[in-house]
Amino acid sequence: MFGLFKKKDPIQELEKEYLKLMEEAMRIQRGGDIKAYAAKVAEAEEIQKKIEELRKDS
């Protein structure tokens, strides 16, 4: 109950999003669409950069 008012860690949220994008990229790659795979990986890399910046600031 007290967890309702707790602030969520932005790094954890970004890590979840990163993992989700990498899983989607894997499925796309297995389907053979290399261009879409590259786009998903690039999107995931941008999130990884944000995570690294947040960790530096902490």
This prediction has a pTM of 0.83
Q: Please tell me the total count of domains within the chain.
A: 1
What's the CA gap between 40 and 34, in Å, rounded? 10
pLDDT digits (tens, 9 = 90+) for 2-45: 666 677 889 999 999 999 999 999 999 999 999 999 999 999 99
Spatial CA neighbour of 14 closest among 41, 46, 40, 47: 47
Angle made by CA atoms 39, 42, 46, in degrees to the nearest 5:
140
Secondary structure of residue 32 in the 3-state scheme? coil
Domain limits for position 42: 7-57
Q: Is residue 38 assigned to a domain?
A: yes
pLDDT at 2: 60
pLDDT at 3: 62
- Per DSSP, 1 falls in state -
Q: Is residue 2 assigned to a domain?
A: no
